[in-house]
Amino acid sequence: MAEAHNPLEQFEIKTLIPIKIGEFDASFTNSSAFMVIAVIAATALMVFAVRPRAGVPGRWQLLAELSYQFIAKMVSDNIGKEGRPYFPFIFTIFMFVLFGNFIGMVPYSFTFTSHIAVTLTMALVIFVLVTIIAFIKHGFHFFSFFLPAGVPIVLAPLMIAIEVISYFTRPFSLSVRLFANMMAGHTLLKVIGGFVVPLGIFGVVPIAGLVAVTGLEFLIAFLQAYIFTILTCIYINDAIHLH
Amino acid sequence: MPQLDITAFSPQIIWLVITFLVLYVLMAKIALPRIGSILEERQARIDDNLDAAQSLRNESSAEAEAYEKSMAEAREQARSAIYDATQEMSADSARRHEELGTRLSGDLKAAEERISQAKEAAVAGIHEAAASVAAQATERLIGIEPADEAVASAISTALDTSVKEAG
């Protein structure tokens, strides 16, 4: 009984199809299944909804166009013209995280963005890519990034230390923010849900709370995808323009 | 916490990489170029329509201007025609007026002449009549036929005096 109501049970990774590649466990799990569902859903929206190529868009085509314009504007506002080549990558990140978060809101589904393994991998890939871009664009001049212009030379050691630490903690703050938000929200929903049946008739109170928190969770699902994406934009902008 | 189960990391990361790459390819190669071209097409169409509307507007305003111009010309023409006609008519009437005046004054003169002739004739008649009346009266009264000259002078003296008295 206590086992079944464990609020963290929903985050359990369950192997659906065991696959082994050499030493590595590459099993198809519930997490993988929902990643595939997210890809299919995003593709359905972005590819099949715009099939009619209507001059006056229908509902779904409009949604796809708005997503495109939303991210295109984010890229041009935060990076400028040089951000153009990174637009597909940033757009894919947004869609992947957004659909992961939203599909996770469906009851009994699995939220792959609530796993640090997933978010940290994404954040590390972004971090490495951003650093590579910075080196390609600026060579060793990139290290000037760690000492903002106009800082008194006395403060230089301190500033460099702070900048280096803040630079290398980026992937962790980026990944933990998303994972912790998603996990906390889903755990909260589960905990409040656990009160409904034992309270009998007074269960309506936690149900009202559940409705409110579910609404909030939808907002957070979008907001975290937005934050994850815009921070990626800002990091790429830093790499291209330094300070 | 299931999230910290290290053994579950590798399948997640492997499938993350696979699905993310698939989504990236689908977005970068199919979805985004397609939507971009749709948006561009629409923008181009909107711009074209705006251009067409602008040119139509220019055209129509030129038409309106031409219409205004021809209207003003016609109005001017009408005004000058009315002016000419008025002028002609007033000249005509003045001429006729003058003609009438000359004819009337000619008639008046002729009439006056006839009146004065009639008057003279009448006056002369009065003298003769008065003379004959006076001669016959004298003859009846005194039985002497007075001389014609004496009667005539007396009559004319008397008539002149009475005419003077009558003023």
* One pLDDT digit (tens) per residue for chain B, 167 residues: 888 888 888 899 999 999 999 999 999 999 999 999 999 999 999 999 999 999 999 999 999 999 999 999 999 999 999 999 999 999 999 999 999 999 999 999 999 999 999 988 888 788 788 888 888 888 888 877 777 777 778 777 877 777 666 65
Tokens encoding A235: 């990091």
Rounded Cα gap, residues A35 and A30, in angstroms = 9
Boundaries of every domain in chain A:
9-241
Cα–Cα distance for residue pair A129/B100, rounded to 1 Å: 116
> So what's the pLDDT on residue A2?
43
What is the C-alpha R_g of chain B?
Answer: 63
| The pair of three-digit structure tokens given for residue B138, joined into one six-digit string | 């004298």
Q: Which range, of A51-60, A181-190, B97-106, averages the lowest pLDDT? A: A51-60
Q: What is the pLDDT of residue A5?
A: 65
Q: Euclidean distance between the first and final Cα of chain B, in Å?
A: 157
Mean pLDDT of A115-123: 94
**Could you tell me the two tokens for A51?**
């099939």
CB contact under 8 A, B32 and A116: no
Please identify among residues 135-194 of chain A the ones whose CB lies closer than 8 Å to any CB of chain B. Answer: 179, 183
Domain for residue B31, yes or no? Answer: no
For B21, the closest chain A residue by CA position comes to A92
Residues A148 and A156 sit within 8 Å (Cβ to Cβ): no
Question: From A111, which residue of chain B is nearest by alpha-carbon distance?
Answer: B3
Instruction: Select the residue from B5, B18, B38, B46 to test the A interface by mutation, using most A Cβ atoms within 10 A.
Output: B38
Closest CA–CA distance from residue A13 to any residue of chain B (Å): 7
- Name the pLDDT band for A172 (thresholds 50, 70, 90): very high
Structure tokens at A127: 């971090």
B82 lies in a domain?
A: yes
What average pLDDT does the structure give for chain A?
Answer: 90
Sign of CA dihedral B102, B106, B109, B115: negative
Cβ contacts from A onto B, under 8 A: 129
Q: What is the ipTM of this complex?
A: 0.90
> Is A15:B11 a contact under the CB 8 Å cutoff?
yes
The answer to whether A92 touches A17, Cβ cutoff 8 Å, is: no
Separation in Å, CA A163 to CA A134, A169, A198: 15, 10, 52
Report yes or no on B34 lying in a domain: no
Q: How far apart are the first and last CA of chain A?
A: 56
**Residue B24 domain-assigned?**
no
Q: Which of A18-27, A157-166, B76-85, B135-144 has the highest mean pLDDT?
A: B76-85
Q: Is residue B16 part of a domain?
A: no
Q: Which of A41-45, A149-153, A225-229 has the weakest average pLDDT?
A: A149-153
Contacts with B16 from chain A: Cβ below 8 Å: 35, 112, 117-118, 121-122
Burial string for A57-94 (b: 16+ CB within 10 Å, else e) reads beebbeebbebbeebbebbeebbeebbeebbbbbbbbb
User: Is A106 strand, coil or helix?
Assistant: coil
The whole-number pLDDT of residue B5 equals: 84
Q: Which domain holds residue B64?
A: 42-166
> What domain count does chain B have?
1
Nearest to B20 by CA among A97, A19, A229, A49: A97
Q: Is A225 helix (H, G, I), strand (E, B) or coil?
A: helix
- Chain B: give the shortest CA distance to residue A68, in Å: 7
Q: Does A118 touch chain B (CB under 8 A)?
A: yes
Angle between helix A116-138 and A204-241 (nearest 10) = 20
Query: How would residue A208 be classed by pLDDT, with cut points 50, 70 and 90?
Result: very high
pLDDT category of residue A1 using cuts at 50, 70 and 90: very low
Tell whether the model's pLDDT for residue A3 goes beyond 50. Answer: no
Q: Determine, yes or no, domain membership for B30.
A: no
